[in-house]
Amino acid sequence: MSLDRRKFLKYLGVAGAAAGTSMLVSEGIKTKEKGAIGPLTAEAQTTTPQKHDYEVKPGELDAYYGFWSGGHSGEVRIIGVPSMREIKRIPVFNMDVATGWGITNESKALLKGRFCGDTHHVHGSYNNGVYDGKYLFVNDKLNNRVARIRTDYMETDKIVDVPNIQGMHGLFTQRYPKTEWVVCNGEFQVPVPNTNPSQKPADYNGIHTVIDAEKMEIVCQVLMDENMDLAATDYGGRYSMTTSYNIEKGVTVSEMLGSDYDYMLVFHWDRMKKALKDGKYKVINGVKVLEGREGKSDLTIRIPVPKNPHGINVSPDGKYAICSGKVSPTCSVIEIDKIEDVFNGKLKPKDVIIAQPFIGLGPLHTTFDGKGNAYTSVFIDSTNVKWNIQKAIDNEKLPEEKKKNSHIIDVLDVNYQVGHIMATMAETKEADGQWLVSLNKFSKDRFLNVGPLKNECEQLVDITGEKLKLVHDSAAYLEPHDCIIVRRDIIEKHVKDRYNMFDNPLAVTKSGVERKGKKVTVRLTANAPVFGLTEVNLKKGEEVTVIVTNHDEISDLDHGFALSNYNINFVVAPFQTKSVTFIADKPGVYWAYCTNFCHALHLEMRMRLIVT
Ligand code: RUQ
Ligand code: CUA
Ligand code: CA
């Protein structure tokens, strides 16, 4: 403790002397560095404070929207970058009582009774290699679904089920000319169709799926022997690419590690489109399935990469796909413009690998700064490694002793066991090299101890300089899996403050009760501080549908509709309509009330349902 304090004072002294105004600077350090310093590092004692300010002061807005996949929470989150403040949670595959997602008729229709999920990879819709800001897509590894979020309302608007696969993993959106296709992978090989449990693992298949981004329907699938892990698309609208770690078709860990190499797989979109047009597919469970297996298809190629590779990321200049080796301490750099010649038989698959630099133990994912540098997350070492792509390519020709890992520019320790890593705008042509987020799987000793089950740790890194500079730690609810970080202007122009009331045919303009046999429809306007009715009389056993429209147009003025002892609870945002259907099975007097503090008379905003 005393040592830390001494270091801290020394730090202030050095920084203060350098700036000449010790009071001002020390104040600055106290506020800015408070979150970042555990014990101060040696480096921190001798360098001046970070110029690049991550602090977003009251009244200021973040420069970036971060969209986080929430892992096994099943949701997507919006994090402000660089403040790292969690601004919103968007329920997707989960049940969310605060918003009523999973409780209303509208959300139930999308979720079809499955209220949990595992969101892994969130990617945006593109126009010419840059986000157009319209949609986000995210996969559910648990129940094999893809959801679309529209960014005007920041709400899930479609979910499509994907048959014939399990362990839906990597997902990516078409980058050029614009997003018409979304691809996703089946990570677990299974019998296809899954009707014969005694089928041998050697006969299981992996499947690559294409989804129509507008219609949210399946375009086709490609049948493979390999499993498929992460996915990427190129910047030319030509290919989707995936990593495979189980070319062995193993069912145990040791079997999946049997081979010294696995594959990066490439799918040729023009050839797939032609095969679809020519009717060269089988229909399995209602989906067109193309043949992609080795030796039986010209739609796919296999590039051998070591070993059980994981992430695949394309550099912002569109030139390179980088496969992180996971079990191999290397990344493989693939030159994308050479891929066509492999499809044409002019090059061997391995000829497209132009470098295989050493990175560290357990490289998982790579991101970019738009200045020719790559940043790879290294799980076992718990580091972010900054390396220069061109240097790695140049070094490839040198003998091992001359390379001396000179492609590596800096290594930052992160805490601990980093999974995904993402820099601002890094998955676009406009990667801007400002900030990087390290999503770490372990947070022990980083925050107050909150018992055995701890949150995760995400760290913010300034990448504007040559060195990586850790500036901020945040605890994150389980489990921040992957993210994209999008410039504010791209999203801002789409986001709305209120719904278009009449987009929803159910919108209530006049409150009232309508009866058809045993079915009762209760239409309610909500207008601070009253609902449109003060009481509704029901008979036990009636099937009641309550439809609520919020008529307040003031931004942020939400109302809740909660029905005591009936397990019903949701909110309606300005001009939004939601509905819920239930059986009035409990006689008595039940108060329905507004749950969302909306008015000085919010507590009085309630009405009775009288069930006789
Ligand atoms: S993939 S770090 Cu969904 Cu890396 Cu998990
Ligand atoms: Cu309406 Cu509280
Ligand atoms: Ca393997």
Q: What is the pLDDT of residues 365-417, one digit of tens each?
A: 999 999 999 999 999 999 999 999 999 999 999 988 888 899 999 999 999 99
Q: Supply the pLDDT for residue 8.
A: 31
Q: Supply the pLDDT for residue 355.
A: 97
Considering only CA atoms, which residue is closest to atom 2 of ligand 1? 419
Look up residue 155 and give its two tokens: 């709400």
Tens-place pLDDT, residues 213-239:
999 999 999 999 999 999 999 999 999
Please report the atom of ligand 2 found closest to the CA of residue 558: 1
Is 424 inside a domain boundary?
Answer: yes
Query: Total structural domains in the chain?
Result: 2
Please give the distance of CA 348 from its chain centroid, rounded to a whole number.
Answer: 35
Is 1 inside a domain boundary?
Answer: no
Ligand 2 pocket residue status of 605, Cβ below 6 Å: yes
Residues in the chain: 612
Q: Supply the pLDDT for residue 162.
A: 98
Ligand 2 pocket residue status of 359, Cβ below 6 Å: no
Alpha helices in 60-115 (DSSP H): 105-111
Look up residue 84 and give its two tokens: 């790292």
Cα(294) to ligand 3 centroid in Å equals 17
Q: How many C-beta atoms surround the C-beta of residue 49 within 10 A?
A: 17
Ligand 1 pocket residue status of 523, Cβ below 6 Å: no
- Does residue 544 share a domain with residue 415? no
Ligand 2 pocket residue status of 528, Cβ below 6 Å: yes
- Does residue 481 share a domain with residue 593? no
Please report the atom of ligand 1 found closest to the CA of residue 364: 4
- Does residue 466 share a domain with residue 575? no
Is the sign of the CA dihedral 320, 324, 325, 330 positive or negative?
A: positive
Average pLDDT per consecutive 10 residues, the chain (612 residues; last block may be shorter): 32 32 28 32 39 85 97 98 97 96 97 97 98 98 98 98 98 98 98 96 98 98 98 98 98 97 98 98 98 98 97 98 97 98 98 98 98 98 98 93 92 96 98 98 92 95 97 93 98 97 96 97 98 98 98 97 97 98 98 97 98 98
- Does residue 67 share a domain with residue 141? yes
Look up residue 420 and give its two tokens: 């995904």
Cα(218) to ligand 1 centroid in Å equals 24
- Does residue 386 share a domain with residue 248? yes
Q: Which domain holds residue 526?
A: 501-611
Can you give the pTM of this predicted structure?
0.91
Q: Supply the pLDDT for residue 12.
A: 31
Q: Supply the pLDDT for residue 51.
A: 57
Domain ends where: 431, 458, 492? Answer: 492
Please report the atom of ligand 2 found closest to the CA of residue 595: 2
Cα(421) to ligand 1 centroid in Å equals 10
Domain ends where: 459, 492, 525? Answer: 492
Q: For residue 28, count CB atoms less than 10 angstroms from its CB and return exposed for 0-12, middle for 13-18, buried for 19 or more.
A: middle
- Does residue 228 share a domain with residue 94? yes
